[in-house]
Structure 1
């Protein structure tokens, strides 16, 4: 493992942090969904760390869903950009979407669906790489591509903290409960933990905990985007 890979790994230990952020809002009876659960490893971690018995997951890959099911996750295959979530409205107490939306071109429908399946006052933990991290700002300053969105890479979206909050709180669908940064290149823990707590908007990873508001006659993100930007599929 090279130095760059070592630093990246040390700065992305976010599962314990996510568990602590949602813990105050979780009970054993909570119904939990991880959007983009992959092979179910992280879902199983949250199940054990939070003491939740009812854990669901979604992923677009059939093999990943099968693997997650084998680990005890109630996993479903779903194309987040094209399909509605296979759940009733107001179904989940907690939804986690971590390191997912940077892979999506169509981000409006899945956020609308997350809002739909969350119970009123339910909580969403949303995490993505930070385009405005200190190291990305430096790379742009010297004319280099940010690490969170490369040309030949699976990441097709990039978010700054302020733009992300504007997106997540559109039409007062959600309100921010807590904002936290994880990792601070080129440092490693514990030094990176100190700097990310002082300068969260300069951190490698953005984590935002939100509460669902009940909005009557909701204007969904999906409908608003179709109204304003009819000429693009993005």
Structure 2
């Protein structure tokens, strides 16, 4: 998981722990990969450089790789341990941070960036998007995913006075919400907030789509898949934007 240099040391240690869950499921990864493949097209005329920023163990990029045949997918993370695990799935991995100039790439070097469930963990998402914009070429693609604060079940939970799923008040335990895993979310977005934030950071938002969450109880998973038809109520937000 990519972080910023302003993150407390104990938060960095938290994300270094390989037992901390870092993804919302294969369905999200596959939907996001399909959106990216559709955006950049086949590698018939040129090879695109795709950076998976905050690649973690490389699962998202490995899911996308078969759909991006001929393109170069590079995993990037600040965690050396994560990069070791990612290298078992990806041929290219490099260390980098989401600080000003912290990614080891020239301005406009990338055709696309995968930013899978990273932004909700960041202390300074503004600087992070500035750095992503720097490494993307003009017109380059940003494919971002993040949990939805306004997921259909969170709306009901809030009405009942229950802490929403995905939100956290402690790194040490679960308090006031369903679930059993602490995952270190620092901020959450609704579809509207995410769209406005990305647009204000120098991107043209092309599309916002929805994806299901593997942690939804089995009896409710069909409903969760149906909710993807209304992205503002889906479990996971998938956003495609292009650098201006």
TM-score when scaled to structure 1? 0.79
Maintained 8 Å contact 1:99/1:128: yes
Find the counterpart in structure 1 of residue 196 from structure 2: 166
Give me the CA root mean square deviation.
2.2
1:210 equivalent in alignment to 2:241: yes
Unaligned runs of 5+ in 1: 1-8, 214-234
Find the counterpart in structure 2 of residue 226 from structure 1: none
1:20 equivalent in alignment to 2:30: no
Count of aligned residue pairs for this structure pair:
202
36-45 or 80-89, which deviates more: 80-89
Matches for 1:193-208 after TM superposition, within 5 Å: 193-197=225-229, 199-208=230-239
Name the CA distance, whole Å, in 2 between partners of 1:183 and 1:11. 8
Name the CA distance, whole Å, in 2 between partners of 1:10 and 1:90. 30
Name the CA distance, whole Å, in 1 between partners of 2:109 and 2:97. 19
Residue aligned with 2:87, SS:
helix
**Structure 1 residues 144 and 84: CA distance shift in structure 2, 3 A:** same
Find the counterpart in structure 2 of residue 40 from structure 1: 58
Deviations 1:28-54 (A, max 9, x none): 311110111012222122122221441
Please, which of 181, 188, 204 is the counterpart of residue 210 of structure 2? 181
**Structure 1 residues 82 and 156: CA distance shift in structure 2, 3 A:** farther
Please, which of 84, 87, 93 is the counterpart of residue 105 of structure 2? 87
Cα displacement (A) at 1:208: 0.6
80-89 or 158-167, which deviates more: 80-89
Maintained 8 Å contact 1:183/1:203: yes
Name the CA distance, whole Å, in 2 between partners of 1:44 and 1:19. 10
Residue aligned with 1:143, SS:
coil
Name the CA distance, whole Å, in 2 between partners of 1:124 and 1:109. 15
Name the CA distance, whole Å, in 2 between partners of 1:169 and 1:89. 20
Maintained 8 Å contact 1:81/1:107: no
Name the CA distance, whole Å, in 2 between partners of 1:96 and 1:43. 8
